[in-house]
Amino acid sequence: MASHPSLALLVIDVQNDFCAGGALEVMDGDAVVTGINAIMGEFDVTILTQDWHPAGHSSFASTYEEKAPFETVSLSYGEQTLWPDHCVQGSHGADFHPDLATDKADMILRKGFRPGIDSYSAFYENDRKTSTGLDGYLRSRNVDTVVCTGLATDFCVYYSAMDAVRLGFQVEVIENLCRAIDLDGSLATARADMQAADVILR
């Protein structure tokens, strides 16, 4: 007999570098931790994602001469926003926020570890082709609905939610358990795109 469909919580990049004092601080990023911890028990499957970049990553502004954070560069897969060095493998900044209940996770998925390609989505690297393996894992756990939380609403949460829809999952984003970077209106664009794709924002 087939098991009942499962509900998955996707906790995206709640890491020190995206929280207060971090290299790529998301305003009020720390505020999502308590609420995320409080709902973990409501889900059949909990996945934490972790940005995990090698030093000198192609998405770091410092990798290029005369480039500053938040400028762009053209890479093999298209335009890439350049960021301050962040979530470098093994660094304090790459660690999860110390208050996040990581012991409740079924799976920790690391992304962005390929030197030449960035990864916003929990499902695909930024070339939109290289899979992280999350899709297969969720299907093996009989997941049909993915609920997204974490950092940042308009980048990694947004890309993850859109890919989840594209892969056939029902998708919700809990907006008060996310925070945004909001680079040049990116939050409004992300919200409109998600709504148009039938992502439930709640």
CB contact at 8 A, 59 and 87: no
Helix (H, G, I), strand (E, B) or coil at 10: strand
Backbone angles phi and psi of 120, in degrees to 5? -85, -45
How far apart (Å, rounded) are the C-alpha atoms in residues 57 and 185? Answer: 26
pLDDT tens for the chain, 202 residues long, are 456 789 999 999 999 999 999 999 999 999 999 999 999 999 999 999 999 999 999 999 999 999 999 999 999 999 999 999 999 999 999 999 999 999 999 999 999 999 999 999 999 999 999 999 999 999 999 999 999 999 999 999 999 999 999 999 999 999 999 999 998 899 999 999 999 999 999 9
User: Is 129 considered catalytic here?
Assistant: no
Nearest to 60 by CA among 131, 117, 19: 117
Q: Which of 111, 135, 154, 163 is catalytic?
A: 111
What is the pTM for the complete model shown?
0.95
Q: Which of 85, 156, 163, 178 is catalytic?
A: 156
User: Is 13 considered catalytic here?
Assistant: yes
